[in-house]
Structure 1
Amino acid sequence: MGRTGPLTALARAGDEPEAFAVFYDEHGRDLVRFFARRLIDAEAALDLTAETFAQAFAGRRSFRGRSDEEARAWLYTIAHRQLAGYLRRGYVDREGREKLGVQLQPAGAEELARVEELADLRGLRASIAAGLETLSAEQREAVTLRVVAELPYPELAARLQITEPTARARVSRALRALRAVMTDPTTSGGEA
């Protein structure tokens, strides 16, 4: 049985590598925005986007989907793995690009500014700052030490002179409160 309708660009790329450029054009901008909004770092977003597409290109023949939605889901599965690895390691693993022999030039100031604009990082930073102001002093300090200073929980607990479970709970509550403030459409500028 054949497919109904035309093949997605990703599905065509299995036999026609040049079709991958169409797939990149369809999803590149949104993927950069995806990474930039999660990392608030334009350069890391560009690196992770390049690595995600390199991994997707290398594995394009394994894609078995039939629709654009399935192609997007497949790409974002790779993107989520790249993001998780980045957050775990603190750097971009350039394995996919190295396998393909792709060398990237460092992003210029103009390109980084464009990514910041595309992902509205200035607005996101302002929202985070406003959200932090809604937290108690203890929660703000705990989340700042954990997320910004990247202290491990044992060190965070020692610094705050609390138990490790209390430190974990404090950070968790603070992040939950931040998420609620930042996703609540009725809040603006941190006011509830």
Structure 2
Amino acid sequence: MELLKGVSPLRYEVTLNDALTPLARTSLADADLVRLAVRDEHAFEELVRRHAASVHRLAASTVGPGAADDVVQEVFISVHRNLRGFRGEASFSTWLHRITLNACARALRTRATLTLDDSPELAAPHDPVRAGEQAQLRARLAAGLQSLPAEQREALTLREIAGLDYAEIAAVTGTELGTVKSRINRGRAALRAWLTRAGITP
């Protein structure tokens, strides 16, 4: 780093980023990648690679698998446009989940009804019976989630599908920790009852 003495912080950051290999970028924390991604597409691509799957899972559980790809694209376009305004008051993943929920809400508002059986994933071609069973189970789970009040569905999805802890969910949704726990507990109970009525043992 002796060669970079006397270089301005901005110039240092750009020079450092130019020297990073793709492997080195994967070891950076989100906060470091965000700072670099403001000016460097490779750093932004690493953020997308790191978080796209969780964004897609959250979107698919909220708007359905068929519409999830469009939501993911909208989310990362929004992230790219607003990176300069990200102040780091919350973690990047919390900010990202909030953007994803907002994008999902917009997608749902544009449709009169939600299609629950969009493009189910296919199992291995040698097991069509299993593929059908999995598709049917996913459709019923999606229908069960959609039967919940929006606040319970949001909290339960963030917990069970996005894998956030209670504190992270509270930050994403802007609610108290106790409220988050209550919504998740009520949502789980309601979903269990719905699935039981549908003939599925939770």
TM-score by structure 2 length? Answer: 0.46
Q: TM-score, normalised by structure 1?
A: 0.48
